[in-house]
Structure 1
Amino acid sequence: MTSPWDMPDFDDHEALHLIRDAKAGLSAIIAIHSTHLGPAGGGTRFWHYLNNAAAITDALRLSRGMSYKNAMAGLAMGGGKAVILSDAAGTKTPELIAAFAKAVDSLGGRYVTAQDVGMSAADMIAISQGTRYVSGLPPKDGGAGGDPGPSTAMGVFLGIKAAVRRALGKEDLAGVHIAIQGVGSVGGGVARHAAAAGARITLADRNGELARKLADDIGAQIVPVDEIMSVESDVFSPCALGAILTESSIAALRTAIVAGGANNQLATQADGDRLQARGILYAPDYVINAGGIINVALEYLGNGDRAAVNAKVLQIPDRLNAVWDGSEASGQNPARVADAMAQRLIGRG
């Protein structure tokens, strides 16, 4: 396997920890991209990877994205990410979780974990039994914390409204057609907010039963997973896994806007240029989907309650507009503009 230093997504990461506890069945990676602004904050992903190199790549990409996300959200946290390598059956035991908590604790607070794909609020509570460097725990007395999904969904919804205003000149979502890929905590929340605002919704998810229930609840249509990206729509909202915007998939898009909650939506930097060349407005993922990390960061840092979280989430459209203004002024695509802004904030610009 190629050395991590030579992998395309290695970006002067401060540390890459390979964790193994054979007795507990734990294989994990903790990537710390930057601690320039504070402890490296980012969730833990529990996922079955095709190979170890794919897991390392995911950790590198996700941790860099967290540096950018936290910086752009104005949080006193750096960027990190953990991935736990699941077996094909998705086996998750108390022993595995306890071993992972021990690994996080061994870093002494340089990395602070939270909930991500494949992990639950209950897992965060279990992790907290072995380390204090965890967030996303049940909120107390109106404080920040808990499941980050609803805050992420609200931020994405507000970002979609800002994109529709910018690209389509519409002040509301009445009649706007939004195609949503993935209907978990984030995608499902976005769908419910948008439907309540009068949008027309098309859904796709690998969990057909989950998609059907949501569609019945909000009056949405469903299409197969492999068709959602080519649905003719006003907004395509990717809310599942990343790297789905490629040369071929971008060519097949029939939309004016891409704005969703998934991390690392662009497979390569060149794909941001491809979106711009097609006249599609892109909302950089780590700017629009920052609601969840705002929630867990304020919880961990102890400097905000639910009202403070909501106030910061409400600022997401302003940050997107700053990126889009920079794109228009420079001619660079929004992803490159956002990257440059974030790099300056973490002392690398």
Structure 2
Amino acid sequence: MTDVTDGVLHTLFHSDQGGHEQVVLCQDRASGLKAVIAIHSTALGPALGGTRFHPYASEEEAVADALNLARGMSYKNALAGLDHGGGKAVIIGDPEAFEGDRRTELLLSYGRSVASLGGRYVTACDVGTYVADMDVVARECRWTTGRSPENGGAGDSSVLTSFGVFQGMRASAQHLWGDPTLRGRKVGVAGVGKVGHHLVGHLLADGARVVITDVREESVRRITEQHPEVAVVADTEALIRTEGLDIYAPCALGGALNDDTVPVLTASVVCGAANNQLAHPGVEKDLADRSILYAPDYVVNAGGVIQVADELDGFDFERCRAKAARIFDTTLAIFARAKSDGIPPAAAADRIAEQRMADARAR
């Protein structure tokens, strides 16, 4: 650990997302690397989770995000049926400020940091990192997934992430409307980047009416040029208030469901790719009180981690796609458990994941 401030220590030891096995703060002044690697659990196997590259306002904010994301990966991997625990890494900085040789040196240094953990943590892509980045990291660390096919990897994991979210939507439609199709339903997608633009394709192919928004004009333009039938609204606030919206799909950063958005949400279902959509504990009950069906984010967006986990044993796309298709059944099982236990779906998903981890620890 280097340069650990009192604020970072407070975040580490007083986080409400506790129970983590290990948190490592990494710094390399020569390359500019400053990163946090959080391992929540290895009960089911080596921790697996992506690397986020983001300009955090402080070290405390970065640590808190890493802790929260790592915990979510434990639950995601457990419900995806993977023999992996949960971990996550965050690199502190503006990814656009690191280009060319400067980015390469930072990623090589980061790879050495991951390698120093001896396989307890396996990394992959996340927000701000890409397949090409993982190819660089892999030069220093064999516990790297999400690499390019040319370098023994599976390539872009957003393809199966979007497919899994689509399966979660189909399950939601089956549970709520009795038919596993989005035909004729109006679906609002907030964020049409790496995952969202693939999701739009699945929805349109299934006959859905799609409304989108994104802070990046180029992302919106890519969708409208490919699919001129897609409607565009100015921002997320306008999207969640859209009249006649059946499903809201948050596919950008977390915290989309909060005290401001839930009361004005018009959709009957929330099912999207973003991690950590619930801004704080209790939001899941607020959704249930409004009769809004919530498909837990870490369940439906597990297609990507299914793909990168498979890469460790020799990637086979069709095998991964079959595993990702089971998200439909897993989502339905969570809705059934929620109904039988009289709890929100998010709580039911947590119970199922926690039981699998507890069983593994007992063994």
TM-score between the two structures when normalised by the length of structure 2: 0.92
> Alpha-carbon deviations, 1:74-113, whole Å to 9, x = none?
1011100000001485425111111100100111100000
Change (3 A) 1:140 1:48: closer
> Alpha-carbon deviations, 1:116-145, whole Å to 9, x = none?
11001100101111110101122379x972
Structure 1 position 192 matched with structure 2 position 201:
yes
SS of structure 2 residue aligned to 1:346: helix
1:1-349, aligned counterparts within 5 Å? 1=7, 3-87=10-94, 90-92=97-99, 93-139=103-149, 145-218=154-227, 219-225=229-235, 226-232=237-243, 233-300=245-312, 302=313, 305-347=316-358
SS of structure 2 residue aligned to 1:175: coil
Residue identity matched to 1:296: V
Report the CA distance between 1:288 and its aligned residue: 0.4
Q: Is the 8 A contact 1:212 1:222 kept in 2?
A: no
Tell me, in whole angstroms, the C-alpha distance in 2 between the residues paired with 1:289 and 1:317. Answer: 11
Q: Is the 8 A contact 1:9 1:57 kept in 2?
A: no
Partner residue in 1 for 2:4: none
Tell me, in whole angstroms, the C-alpha distance in 2 between the residues paired with 1:294 and 1:285. Answer: 15
Q: Is the 8 A contact 1:144 1:298 kept in 2?
A: no
Unaligned stretches of 5+ in structure 2? 1-6
Report the CA distance between 1:243 and its aligned residue: 1.1
SS of structure 2 residue aligned to 1:206: coil
User: Alpha carbon RMSD of aligned pairs, Å?
Assistant: 1.8
Report the CA distance between 1:304 and its aligned residue: 5.6
Report the CA distance between 1:303 and its aligned residue: 6.2
> Alpha-carbon deviations, 1:129-181, whole Å to 9, x = none?
1110101122379x972111000000101111111121123342221100000
Aligned residues between the structures: 347
SS of structure 2 residue aligned to 1:339: helix
Report the CA distance between 1:11 and its aligned residue: 1.7
Tell me, in whole angstroms, the C-alpha distance in 2 between the residues paired with 1:246 and 1:337. Answer: 20
Q: Is the 8 A contact 1:144 1:295 kept in 2?
A: no
SS of structure 1 residue aligned to 2:124: coil
TM-score between the two structures when normalised by the length of structure 1: 0.95
SS of structure 1 residue aligned to 2:212: strand
Q: Is the 8 A contact 1:144 1:309 kept in 2?
A: no
Taking only the aligned residue pairs, the percentage that are identical comes to: 41
Tell me, in whole angstroms, the C-alpha distance in 2 between the residues paired with 1:191 and 1:283. Answer: 18
Q: Is the 8 A contact 1:259 1:284 kept in 2?
A: yes
Report the CA distance between 1:209 and its aligned residue: 2.4
Residue identity matched to 1:82: A
Q: Is the 8 A contact 1:203 1:215 kept in 2?
A: no
Partner residue in 1 for 2:3: none
Q: Is the 8 A contact 1:269 1:336 kept in 2?
A: no
Unaligned stretches of 5+ in structure 1? none
